[in-house]
């Protein structure tokens, strides 16, 4: 299954996440169906692309009828592993790291079955270590191993300055973290088997500005 997952383009996974959100937001009974055209309209892709994406994982619909809303939603939850808890560590508890921690904590409190759970906040600033963000203690990054021993952290969120990002990633990888969401404006080198997703707000704004 891991080999199969690695062959699926990232853009397809992003679209599946969008399809799942559409189905989750839709009130439906056991006999309610939705067409690929309707999913496509809501996801801003054409219906053929919807059918092609879903066909990579099996046959879920009925020709001329569409897809059972609840059935397809449950299939996508299983495909994406969206029913599994995912434990997170945030590295860098400045303005961005603090905002991310508060956002995730708020979602956890207000959204039923929200899967992303913060298990650690880490920083090297002695003035921050020992304090809390929404009840979560800030630890020195040297304490990552102890936290990892107590909880299976899967994702590291990197919210440190660019010059510190690679070192932070290296330390986290050495402790067993396999996936990263990187907000630092720098490309991080990782070994095989480690996934990293970059989120650069400035680059996104520059791209948007080109069209305006």
Give which of 149, 170, 175 is closest to 158, Cα–Cα. Answer: 170
- At residue 77, the 3 state secondary structure works out as helix
Contact present, 184 and 159 (Cβ < 8 Å): yes
| 86-206 shares the fold of 2-80 | no
62 to 51, 78, 152, 187: CA distances (angstroms): 11, 20, 40, 44
Over its length of 212 residues, how does the chain's per-residue pLDDT go in tens digits?
454 566 888 899 999 999 999 999 888 888 899 999 999 999 999 999 999 999 999 888 888 889 999 999 999 999 998 888 999 999 999 999 999 999 999 998 888 778 899 999 999 999 999 999 999 999 999 999 999 988 889 999 999 999 999 999 999 999 999 999 999 999 999 999 999 999 988 888 888 898 89
Q: What is the pTM of this model?
A: 0.85
Residue 27: the pLDDT is 82
Where are the chain's structural domains?
2-80, 86-206
- At residue 205, the 3 state secondary structure works out as helix
Residue 4: the pLDDT is 55
Residue 196: the pLDDT is 95
Fold of 2-80: Arc Repressor Mutant, subunit A (1.10.10)
Helix/strand/coil (H, E, C) string of 153-191? EEEEEECCCHHHHHHHHHHHHHCCCCEEEECCCCCCCCC
Residue 42: the pLDDT is 96
Check if CATH label 3.40.50.720 holds for domain 86-206.
Answer: yes
Helix/strand/coil (H, E, C) string of 97-136? HHHHHHHHHHHHHHCCCCCEEEEEEEECCCCCCCCEECCE
């Amino acid at each position: 299954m891991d080999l199969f997952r690695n062959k699926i383009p990232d853009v397809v996974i992003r679209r599946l996440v969008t399809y799942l959100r559409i189905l989750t937001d839709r009130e439906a009974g056991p006999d309610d169906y939705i067409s690929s055209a309707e999913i496509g309209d809501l996801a801003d892709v054409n219906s053929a692309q919807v059918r092609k994406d879903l066909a990579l994982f099996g046959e879920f619909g009925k020709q001329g009828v569409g897809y059972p809303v609840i059935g397809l939603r449950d299939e996508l939850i299983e495909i994406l592993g969206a029913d599994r808890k995912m434990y997170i560590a945030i590295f860098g508890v400045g303005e961005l790291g603090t905002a991310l921690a508060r956002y995730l904590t708020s979602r956890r409190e207000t959204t039923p079955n929200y899967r992303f759970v913060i298990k650690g906040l880490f920083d090297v600033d002695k003035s921050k270590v020992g304090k809390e963000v929404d009840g979560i203690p800030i630890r020195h990054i040297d304490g990552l191993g102890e936290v990892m021993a107590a909880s299976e952290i899967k994702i590291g969120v990197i919210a440190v300055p660019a010059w510190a990002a690679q070192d932070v990633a290296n330390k986290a990888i050495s402790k067993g973290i396999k996936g990263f969401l990187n907000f630092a404006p720098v490309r991080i080198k990782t070994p095989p088997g480690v996934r990293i997703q970059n989120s650069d707000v400035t680059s996104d704004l520059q791209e948007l500005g080109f069209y305006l």
